[in-house]
A and B are shown apart, each in its own frame.
Chain A
Amino acid sequence: MNIYKHELKMLSGSIFTWSISIAAILLIFMALFPAMAADAELLNQVMAKMPKELLTAFGMTDMNMATVLGFFGFLFIFCQLCLAIQASNYGFGLVSLEERDMTADFLLAKPVSRFKIMTSKVLAGLTALLITNLTAWVFSFLSIELFRGGRSYDSSILVTILSGVILFQLFFFTVGLVVSLMMRKVRNVTPLSMALSFGMYVLSAFGGLVGDVKLENITPFKHFESAYVINNGHFNTSLVMLSAVVIIISVIGSYILYARRNILSAV
């Protein structure tokens, strides 16, 4: 319990900053919606006449920027990007920071098992992610209510999109954790988490351009794509299962690796 409290305290500043940024993204982007919707309605009329192949090629069949949810789906990608960076930051730093700061040998000298240390740390990280998650929920609804300007939307779809967030966060958190444990030494967390989260983002953003080549199916940005939910009412189950499997394997792998890890000490 002490470890849990300590970890959470260490993360508190970061939780605060990330929650504020996510709230800001939601509010700022959504504030553009009223102006955008008026333009987009015009655009939609023209687009309705266009060949379907072209729309598919540019991934525009899925997005209707004139509707509340279509626009929300677009801006939510940027929220996801922030959530991904935050979660991978926490994942990569969870145990590696102790070793970098030479406090790992101190911690391991305490009368707690490694299993317990790991569990407390993972739970603290999870709590941090849940707090940010909650902020995303609150501000999604708030920003939509503020700026939808009387346009109606299906709130059950919004709930589905948002309920995917926790798995999305867990993917980056656990993958970051297991990768940091596979490395002999983690010098700096930020480049690693940027590579993981931005790599996944670019892969999915670029993948959306043209059909074909299914490499983008490995990225959680695709697994939890809002556009898919908006069109189908639910997530693509097999892709979500893929995420879940990756999470489970990463968690088990982390426990095994941490239990056997050779800890670098100060002297």
Chain B
Amino acid sequence: MNIFLHELKGNIKSLIIWSFITLLFIVVGFSKFSAFASNPDMLAILDGIPKIVLDSLSLNSFNLITVTGFYGIMQLYFSLVLAIAAAMWGSDFISKEERDKTVEFALTMPVTRSKIITGKALAAVVSCIILNLVALGGTLVAAQGYNPDSEFYTFAYLSNVALLIVQFIFLALGIFLGSAMKYYRRANSTTVSILLVTFFMYIIAGMNEKLGFLKYFSPFKFFDPLEILHKSRIDPAFVLLSVGIIVVLMAGAYLTYSKRDLYI
């Protein structure tokens, strides 16, 4: 419990900064949207386009002039920002003890190593949830000006759950690499490179249908906003896959950290 509180307190500054970035992003996004909202000209244009064109651009149901459609398009950027924050926290929480030369002190305390991981992981999870709520709250407030309907609320809540799962995947990845990597300085940059690679996979998977299988490797592609909007549910297969990934990574983190040779 002490570790949890200590970590959470130490992370407040970072949490505030990331919340600020997220809110700034919401403000910029919605100020762009204001040019579009309920613009009848745009609606007429959108109506005039053949369906096949819209399909090929995957714009089909994201009617850009409604706040729901707009939020759907923002999802990717949201998940990018929040996933980076989660990945940073995950790897940093573990490796910072060695970097700041406090690891000996922490480990002489009468707690097991796995307890330390648990405390740190919980603090990171809470930070992720707070950031997620900030994003959700910001969106809901910003959307008030555009008469959101009940469809919007369902969509916003569901996609934020999906967002939270993506955050947890990258958090678990960061914690695992922070525990498992022999050289603590590499943990941070390795986590980021994996995040980048999965982001590029997301782009490539969208470009060519033959490469669609790549979506199983990119958490950004796990939860398609379109599907969430249409079916009002999150694909359970990918939820299972995500849980599997998280469990494996966390088990790996506990195992490797308890055997870790510390860099002092």
- Total residue contacts A-B, CB cutoff 8 A: 98
Binds B, one of A134-142, A183-191, A223-231: A183-191
From residue A174, how far is it (CB to closest CB) to chain B in Å? 21
For residue B264, CB closer than 8 A to chain A, the reply is: no
CB–CB B99/A187 < 8 A: yes
Q: A47-B53, A50-B53, A188-B92 are in contact. Are A202 and B32 (CB under 8 A)?
A: no
Expressed in whole angstroms, the minimum distance between the Cβ of B158 and any Cβ of chain A is 22
Given A78-B200, A191-B14: A57 and B31 within 8 A (CB)?
no
Q: Indicate if the CB atoms of A206 and B56 lie closer than 8 Å.
A: no
Given the interface pairs A188-B96, A207-B32, the reply to whether A198 lies near B81 with Cβ below 8 Å is: yes
Which residues of A does B touch, CB under 8 Å? 21, 25, 28-29, 32, 35-36, 43, 46-47, 50-51, 53-54, 57-58, 60, 78, 81-82, 85, 89, 100, 187-188, 190-191, 194-195, 198-199, 202-203, 205-207, 209-213, 215
14 chain-A/chain-B pairs, Cβ below 8 angstroms: A43-B53, A43-B56, A46-B50, A46-B52, A54-B49, A85-B196, A188-B99, A194-B88, A195-B17, A198-B80, A198-B84, A203-B28, A207-B32, A213-B32
- Is B145 located at the chain interface by the 8 A CB criterion? no
- Cβ-defined contact, A202 with B52, below 8 A: no
Q: Is the CB of A209 within 8 A of B32?
A: yes
Stretch at the interface among B33-41, B114-122, B134-142, B159-167: B33-41
Contact B96 A25 (CB under 8 A): no
> Which B residues touch A32, using CB under 8 A?
204, 207-208, 211
Q: Which residues of A contact B77 (CB under 8 A)?
A: 202, 205-206
Q: Does the CB pair A206–B96 fall under 8 Å?
A: no
Task: Check B21 against A206 for contact (C-beta < 8 Å).
Answer: no
- Assuming the contacts A46-B52, A190-B192, A194-B192, asked whether A213 and B28 have C-beta atoms less than 8 A apart, the reply is yes
Cross-chain contact of A35 among B59, B100, B210 (Cβ < 8 A): B210
B-side residues, CB < 8 A to A, are 14, 17, 21, 25, 28-29, 31-33, 35-36, 41-42, 45-46, 48-50, 52-53, 56-57, 59, 64, 73-74, 77, 80-81, 84, 88, 92, 96, 99-100, 188-189, 192-193, 196, 200, 203-204, 207-208, 210-211
CA gap between A171 and B92 in the complex, in Å: 27
Docked CA distance A46–B48 (Å): 13
Complex CA distance for A187 and B192, rounded to whole angstroms: 17
Contact of B88 (CB < 8 Å), options: A21, A51, A100, A190: A190
Residue of B nearest to A29 (CB): B204
Residues of B within 8 Å of A29, CB to CB, are 204
